[in-house]
Homo-oligomer: A and B are copies of this chain.
């Protein structure tokens, strides 16, 4: 029993390193960059609160477990910003190696269960994984909206890029959530026109009327 517990504690101690992996996104108050440990907590809470947006066959408890482990590979592989440029095939290979090492710290039966759950998340084909991926995409959008666009200007993100890279994934797992987000996103990218009425006095050097 002690050997088993020791292996479990070794895995949990290694997992602590996820708190030192920095993401591109900041906290909602913009004070600093978010780390992948606290991000994992936040999106598990997102799933708990927004679970009712999922398709009826989704098991939210499995989604929460998936989200708790979804970023652990970043301990070895680092975080890859969604709006950055990277070689996704090379990155996937690095993450596979990381998964083998990190989940391999657990006792063999648990290593297998955890790895299978992570593989399911990555494949994004089951209802649980599709909803988990939606939630993972929602939280950075909120953080960016809360910080006046956050990292969008730095990455030159356009509304149509957001639609392709984020919207399609969110809408796949949580359509009503994407409708609510899209209203906010559109307002940020195309703020309403400010209509100003100007009275121009003729003969005092003002601009001539446009009509």
Contacts and interface: CB of A to CB of B under 8 A. Distances in A.
B15 A42 contact: yes
How many chain copies? 2
Given A6-B180, A38-B37, A180-B2, A12 B49 contact: yes
Interface stretch (A23-31, A90-98, A160-168, A201-209): A23-31
A55 interface: no
A142 interface: yes
A64 B19 CA distance: 19
Contacts of A68: 41, 44-45, 48, 64
Given A38-B35, A40-B41, A180-B2, A28 B50 contact: no
Interface size class of A (residues with CB under 8 A): 35 or more
Contacts of A48: 65, 68-69
A202 to B, nearest CB: 48
Interface string A103-118: 0001000100000000
A55 to B, nearest CB: 16
A177 interface: yes
Q: Which 7 A-B pairs have the closest CB atoms?
A: A41-B41, A16-B28, A37-B38, A61-B61, A38-B38, A5-B180, A19-B38
Interface of A: 1-2, 5-6, 8-9, 11-13, 15-17, 19-20, 27-29, 31, 34-35, 37-38, 40-42, 44-46, 48-50, 53, 61, 64-65, 68-69, 106, 110, 139, 142-143, 146, 176-177, 179-180, 183
